[in-house]
Amino acid sequence: MRGVVMHAPGDVRVEERPDPRIELPTDAIIRLTAACVCGSDLWPYRGIEKLEGAAPMGHEYVGVVEEVGGEVRTVRPGQFVVGSFWASDNTCEICRAGYQSGCVHRTLMGTIGTQAEYARIPLADGTLVATPEMPPADLIPGYLAASDVLGTGWFGAVAAEAGPGRTVAVVGDGAVGLLAVLAAKQLGAERIIAMSRHAPRQQLAREFGATDIVTERGDEGIARIKDLTGGLGAHSVVEAVGTQESMMQAINSARRGGHVGFVGVTHDVALPGMDVFNALVHLHGGPAPVRRFLPDLMRLIGERTIDPGKVFDLDLPLDRAADGYRAMDERRAIKTLLRP
Amino acid sequence: MRGVVMHAPGDVRVEERPDPRIELPTDAIIRLTAACVCGSDLWPYRGIEKLEGAAPMGHEYVGVVEEVGGEVRTVRPGQFVVGSFWASDNTCEICRAGYQSGCVHRTLMGTIGTQAEYARIPLADGTLVATPEMPPADLIPGYLAASDVLGTGWFGAVAAEAGPGRTVAVVGDGAVGLLAVLAAKQLGAERIIAMSRHAPRQQLAREFGATDIVTERGDEGIARIKDLTGGLGAHSVVEAVGTQESMMQAINSARRGGHVGFVGVTHDVALPGMDVFNALVHLHGGPAPVRRFLPDLMRLIGERTIDPGKVFDLDLPLDRAADGYRAMDERRAIKTLLRP
């Protein structure tokens, strides 16, 4: 089969890879309907995260089940399925508490590589959620978003305790940040402040429910958030970047007693203890337990209550994956969808 | 009046200071019944925290109201009162959300210095809570503990979401850590693991409700906590030290999805972003909003349901404050009570 392999920073190729096969009786094989490029794929692409040799890429996926192992009970061949970027058993104590991304048997899909024609999904019963029927083509991007960026933005908003009566600020205008805006809106937030200086992203943030846009960053951005919140800071802040500046901007934009949900994968971040102590905020984040939210999110997408697929502004055949990476790297695209 | 002044690291003197007087109509003047030395007073005593010239010391206090300003409504001369180490209005939006230590009008009592005969209490209506009647002498240490160490340990346990069915680990066996054990017990925790290598403190931890003692620290301590929790880590961890090692020990002793309440004042701590991200825990802490808990804690003390005063194992007249500091610095005493 064909699949994306990264050989070095900036060097992404679509090449022949071995067809996946059932390795464990809990596995399923899916034929990918669509996959995509994640903001986190750009870290190795930019040479910031080290590559250990040539790596199959991709961890987001929607597809049709081709084959299941002997112990798989909840999905069957022919079904359209969505799964999280962490495979999880969904039965252990950590999963039952809603932290499937911390499952004791978790497997990172990134090591498998879903930017491909087929993929093996470990722990299929725990990982995959099937739609009631084959979805129409225009909903494919939405379901694909649920696999990671929507679930991650949603977790960020939940971790920040976005809800009725709350003012929510979102740091980061990538796909995750934009979908955190959508999540905050769905969760009932009263006011949603998107921090963005890019007009097309500001526009999408407004479509998703942002009531205010703040273009300033760093201390000036914090001051603007304080201005908009009676000097107190936001109740809830979602951090969706992962740098030192964005983490401190998020922590210092929250009011004392407020909540920061951080979902940007951190790089070269060190949180000064005294600043975190004095901020007196709640901090929660990490790899999103997307599986917790997946059934609800898929229902909202299927009912057309939400349209998270709007974050895909570039739609390419798999063979043009390299163009898709480049467009995101140069910030010409928010997020690239790839069709095998 | 006489009061404690720190002139330099290790140099603590009791000397004549001006009598406090009502400065604002919201002030009260109290005559101290008892005060004490806090673990945080040891940071400047040891030269780790810089002193800006001679400093009046002390921020914990119980006493009898001598005089109130013209706008004070809820306390009156003759009443026995307890207050938090942060004076707060208890009416602003942050206070109403339960974060009185983040009050928009907060004043740190440490700048006033309660290791003295008298003290001015700003924002008396918001800060002080009176007992129904003059308490018996044997309850004075308990009420004094409520002013900071009990309220702080309690906040740590609440921030760590200690409760029924939960396993709670406490990092730190100072007065705050020991009282976090007491709090976890009162909050209904199923299992309470005190991390301590000092026999008298282990003994007090057991009296306060610890079910297990772990003497190992660092990675070995984390491994022991994992052993005791089916490999998962504790649901709730209270951090009551404030060093890099203790913070990381706390974060890594919690299970994924678990809660860390940190109340040790951090010194030279930098939390690595990737470790915090991958831990997938909730972090909450900072200066404890003691005032939130004070009415309940005072009731529990008055009813003799809890006896937090046990943490005072050295009871000295104010004039011997220097001996009290020395005993705590040398870890001969857990906590020193001072009687003016």
In angstroms, the CA B201 to CA B180 distance is: 13
Cβ distance of B94 and A267 shorter than 8 Å: no
Candidates A84, A243, A256: best to mutate against B (most CBs of B within 10 A) is A256
Is A165 near chain B, with CB under 8 Å? no
Cβ distance of B270 and A273 shorter than 8 Å: yes
The three-class DSSP label of residue A333 is coil
**Bridge partners (DSSP) listed for residue B252:** none
Report the pLDDT value the prediction gives residue B265, as an integer from 0 to 100: 87
| pLDDT tens sequence across B220-266 | 999 999 999 999 999 999 999 999 999 999 999 999 999 999 999 88
Cβ-based contacts of B242 with chain A (< 8 Å): 273, 277
Nearest to B270 by CA among B243, B249, B309: B243
Per-state percent for chain A, helix, strand, coil, to nearest 5 = 35, 25, 35
Confidence at B138, pLDDT banded by 50, 70, 90: very high
State the pTM of this model: 0.96
Is A226 near chain B, with CB under 8 Å? no
Cβ distance of A232 and B94 shorter than 8 Å: yes
Cβ distance of A278 and B287 shorter than 8 Å: yes
Nearest to A149 by CA among A57, A37, A12, A66: A37
Cβ-based contacts of B230 with chain A (< 8 Å): 93
Residues 6 or more apart whose Cβ sits within 8 Å of residue A269: A242, A243, A244, A247, B272, B273, B274
In angstroms, the CA B87 to CA B106 distance is: 5
Average pLDDT over residues A82-108: 97
Q: Looking at the predicted structure, is the pLDDT value of residue B111 above 90?
A: no
Is A163 near chain B, with CB under 8 Å? no
Cβ-based contacts of A283 with chain B (< 8 Å): 276, 282-284
CB B183 within 8 A of CB B240: no
What is the percent of chain A with per-residue pLDDT over 90, rounded to a whole number? Answer: 95
Is A272 near chain B, with CB under 8 Å? yes
CB B235 within 8 A of CB B184: no
Of A93, A244, A255, the CB nearest to B94: A255
Is A102 near chain B, with CB under 8 Å? yes
Report the pLDDT value the prediction gives residue A222, as an integer from 0 to 100: 98
Candidates B166, B276, B281, B292: best to mutate against A (most CBs of A within 10 A) is B276
Q: Look at phi and psi of residue A110 and say left if phi exceeds 0, alpha if psi is from -120 to 50, else beta.
A: alpha
In angstroms, the CA B225 to CA B228 distance is: 5
Q: What is the interface pTM, i.e. ipTM, of the complex?
A: 0.95
In angstroms, the CA B86 to CA A280 distance is: 14
